Amino acid sequence: MKKEKPIQRYSAPERINHWVVAFCFIVVSISGLGFFFPSFNWLMNVFGTPQLARILHPFFGVVMFASFLIMFFRYWKHNLINREDITWAKSIHKIAMNEEVGDTGRYNFGQKCVFWAAIGSLLLLLASGIVIWRPYFADAFSIPVIRLALMVHSFAAVLLIIVIMVHIYAALWVKGTITAMVEGWVPAAWAKKHHPRWYREVKAKEQERK
């Protein structure tokens, strides 16, 4: 039987966009943990020196937010929750055993949760980050507001770190997924197994073009 050719999932600009977000996330979360816990202060050296970390952390945070916004506008439609997602969520025990459930589209319910949690925590991080950003904006706010913003910033950062740890685990755990974001393509068998509705949509578009 003839083997089906791989399917393109991400273009080069989409992959560059994603890896810019991922790179910023890594340096910003490492330096952020460095600011937060005295025993982790050495992590500030991710930017070379603690002083540089203090200056660069917010700028890299803004770049991460802006780059994620491009991803947000590209993928939000594929991440809208539908009925199939309820089936998927109810069968999470089967998913954990590597079984597939429901007629999943481009993204499954787990991926959609990561997507919405990421945009939610990034919005909180940006808003609270501006309030605590010295020397540029913090002077415009009162001490109680700055204290509140510091708390929001810390909780949103912990949430995003946990969410991205789950995201990385899933990306590596589901065999064949990482090539999607590294090389841009996925095997047809991967698409059929994990995202059957998306597979049919891609094939229907291919037929239309012929």
Minimum distance of ligand HEM from residue 142's CB (angstroms): 31
Least distance from ligand HEM to the Cβ atom of residue 140, Å:
28
Write down the least CB distance from residue 89 to ligand HEM, Å: 15
Tokens of 170: 């899933």
User: Quick check: is 153 catalytic?
Assistant: no
Distance CA 108, CA 89 (A): 9
The binder of ligand HEM chosen from 6, 7, 18, 60 (CB under 6 A): 18
Query: Out of 7, 25, 156, 157, which residue is the one contacting ligand HEM (CB under 6 A)?
Result: 25
d(CA 74, CA 6): 22
Q: How far apart are CA 7 and CA 170, in angstroms?
A: 20
Question: Are the C-beta atoms of residues 131 and 137 closer than 8 Å to each other?
Answer: yes
Task: Pick the catalytic residue from 18, 57, 153, 167.
Answer: 167
Q: Residue 7 gets which letter from DSSP?
A: E
Residue type, 187: P
45 versus 177: smaller Cβ distance to ligand HEM: 177
CB of 130 or CB of 186, closer to ligand HEM: 186
- First CA to last CA across the chain, in angstroms? 22
CB 141 within 8 A of CB 131: yes
Give the whole-angstrom CA distance, residue 197 versus residue 210.
20
Residues 66-105 as x/- pattern, contact with ligand HEM by CB under 6 A = --x--x---x---x--------------------------
- Shortest distance, position 71 Cβ to ligand HEM, whole Å: 5
Q: Is 103 helix (H, G, I), strand (E, B) or coil?
A: coil
Q: Among residues 9, 58, 85, 109, which is the contact residue for ligand HEM, using CB under 6 A?
A: 9
Q: Which spans of this chain sit near ligand HEM (rule: CB under 6 A)?
A: 9, 18, 21-22, 25-26, 68, 71, 75, 79, 107, 111-112, 114-115, 118, 164, 167-168, 171, 177-178, 180-181
